[in-house]
Structure 1
Amino acid sequence: MNAPTQTIDVYQIITNRIVEQLEQQVVPWRKPWTEAGHPQNLLTKLPYRGINTWMLASLGYAQNYFLTMKQVNAVGGSVRKGEKGHLLVFWKKLPEEQPKDGQEEQRPKSVLRYYYVFNIAQCDHLPEVFSIPYPVHSISQIGACEEIIERMPNCPVIKHGKNAAYYDPTKDYINMPKQGSFATSESYYCTLFHELIHCTGHQSRLNRKEIAETNKYGSEKYGIEELTAEIGACYLNSIAGIVNKEFDNSVAYIKGWIDLLNNDKRVIVYASGQAQKATDYILNIQPYQKAEESFAEQETETQ
């Protein structure tokens, strides 16, 4: 009789790892990739997306270039003894089932899968051509922030009427305190990015249920939306090349994230995905079938 196959709960693995970091007072999505570069696959040059982006960026490598074991072997390299791979996730579409008589046609289902990659710093004998210099920002950080805002399609009105930062989904506008009331210009834009992520949930944009529906303060959906805005703002910070050192890292603040994640193991993957869609919208990146996902399916490694 064959032994039962062990089921790997990818959601729980990811959640456990994030909670472990939070318990050490480390908020992984706040780790910028301004110097190390946006995490990407070394050979395909495809940038990682969603939760994979900041899971890799938070590792602290000098250069955020990664390969699968198959890729390392293919170029004649090797992974150093004792080095461990870094888990990434992707969505795999299941084969469509033909609806039975009298049943409505169902949407294709997807399941969360995983595979592993290694940073170039974990490898030996890679060709010299793979030694890539640090990226250089060609424009100023504040100029980059302004460019992000100016290029956003269907950008809401940004007012400076009250000394409070918020997005009003009913009237579809953002209110910000005057820039001079912030300690630094970077802090102003970090806060504005947070509100911009919120506004992408409006029904005229991405129609995200956490914004489009009325959700009470303190509810789970409210918490998910705040996490989405938090992660999305951090994405935009790194893209603009700014680092905000004034984030609230208080015990109570971090405990709130831990409670939210422990209450639902799917939250962190979902919120990261929504944050990616929001940043794509703000940066005017059109939706497309990511080649990264089909590549990941081919390179999936199980344990």
Structure 2
Amino acid sequence: MKKNARNKINEMITQKMVERISATGTLPWRKPWVSQDARPQNLVSRKPYRGVNAFLLHMMGYAQPYFLTMKQANQLGGKVLKGEHSMPVVFWKFVEPDETSTDPDKQRGYAMLRYYHVFNVAQCEGIPERKIPKLEKPDREICPIMEAEQLIEDMANKPAIEYGRTYAAYNPLTDTVHMPPQEMFLSDEAFFATCFHEIIHSVGHSSRLARKGVTDAVRFGSHEYSKEELVAEMGAAFLCGHCGILPAVEDNSAAYLNGWLERLKADPSMLVSAGQQAQKAYDYIVAEKLEPVMA
């Protein structure tokens, strides 16, 4: 895929995110969905949207998490309401190697960044109600804190976790997550949201997914540092949503929001890439092996 085409898609997705952040005054990874069932998903396949797509669709603010293409709406006997605007969904398509080609890229195969458009069910009419699942309470009582504790306990090849420090951090040299005592946080939710952030960093260790933002020497405030922080923020939001934890928003000031907006605008490729890496980290921790149709 030509870089110009990929750049245009990255710019389009980043612009959509910038517009939503500016309009809502909220970073989507600081306000995730509150359960797995509430995560944005395709109405027909019931597969959850992945990576940056999940945040973009969640930010649209619809009561129901179900999305579909115009074609899918038509196939269900409905249609998109006049004047409604879609949201692009990005995905990677791998092109198989072509040994007969003289193009080096085609000879070794390559990944193409593609996209299509989806609408929320609330933007449609005529879809039979029986086709739209109702969001129901689970059969058993779910305790988000217990879910979070169990998730960390069950993580395969997990890092060492030491409590009692005055700060929260991940040290890749010793492969250790350092956390203050749980009682030092304003709430248990805040504790686990912070712990998830550091655990996402740890998944970048060379013994796990070997992410450059962790394995390489990264200078504080650099582009790679910002990208790794975005991966950790998004990944922690995925984990919070998985457990049903609604983390407290620590900083939603104009300066903080503008700082992220400037970083995203400076490198439009960062958002899609960070979302993809955050998704991989989440999949690693919860041991999900989903078909990567929606990047």
TM over 0.5: yes
Aligned match of 1:204 in 204, 207, 225? 207
Q: Is the 8 A contact 2:31 2:247 kept in 1?
A: no
SS in 2 for 1:144: helix
SS in 2 for 1:211: helix
Q: Which residue of 2 aligns with 1:301?
A: none
Q: Which residue of 2 aligns with 1:30?
A: 30
Q: 1:100 to 1:63 in 2, by over 3 A?
A: closer
Give the number of the structure with larger relative contact order, counting CA–CA contacts within 8 Å between residues 6 or more apart: 2
Is the deviation greater in 85-94 or in 206-215? 85-94
TM-score (norm 1): 0.88
| Residue correspondence of structure 1 range 116-131 to structure 2 within 5 A | 116-131=117-132
TM-score (norm 2): 0.90
Q: Is the 8 A contact 2:175 2:205 kept in 1?
A: yes
Cα separation, 2, equivalents of 1:194 and 1:186: 12
SS in 2 for 1:226: helix
**1:98 Cα offset (Å):** 2.4
Q: Which runs of 5+ in 1 are unaligned?
A: 1-5, 297-303
Amino acid at match of 1:249: N
SS in 2 for 1:262: helix
Amino acid at match of 1:174: V
Greater per-residue helix proportion: 2
Is the deviation greater in 156-165 or in 180-189? 156-165
Q: Which residue of 2 aligns with 1:21?
A: 20
Q: Which runs of 5+ in 2 are unaligned?
A: none
Amino acid at match of 2:279: Q
SS in 2 for 1:89: strand
1:47 matched to 2:74? The reply is no
Q: Percent identity?
A: 42
**1:106 Cα offset (Å):** 5.6
1:183 matched to 2:182? The reply is no
Q: Which residue of 1 aligns with 2:234?
A: 231
Q: Which residue of 2 aligns with 1:92?
A: 93
Q: 1:56 to 1:162 in 2, by over 3 A?
A: same
SS in 1 for 2:46: coil
Cα separation, 2, equivalents of 1:72 and 1:233: 33
Is the deviation greater in 216-225 or in 34-43? 34-43
Amino acid at match of 2:281: A
**1:154 Cα offset (Å):** 0.7
Q: Deviations over 1:246-271 (max 9, x none)?
A: 33112222222122212211000000
Q: Which residue of 2 aligns with 1:248?
A: 251
Cα separation, 1, equivalents of 2:75 and 2:11: 32
Q: Is the 8 A contact 1:201 1:212 kept in 2?
A: yes
Cα separation, 2, equivalents of 1:234 and 1:241: 10
SS in 2 for 1:189: helix
Cα separation, 2, equivalents of 1:129 and 1:104: 47
Q: Is the 8 A contact 1:31 1:57 kept in 2?
A: no
Q: Which residue of 2 aligns with 1:277?
A: 280
Q: How many residues matched?
A: 286
Q: Deviations over 1:46-86 (max 9, x none)?
A: 11111111111111111101111111111111111111222
**1:105 Cα offset (Å):** 9.2
SS in 1 for 2:92: strand
Cα separation, 1, equivalents of 2:256 and 2:143: 31
Q: Is the 8 A contact 2:69 2:117 kept in 1?
A: yes
Amino acid at match of 2:159: P
Amino acid at match of 1:196: I
Aligned match of 2:161 in 158, 161, 172? 158
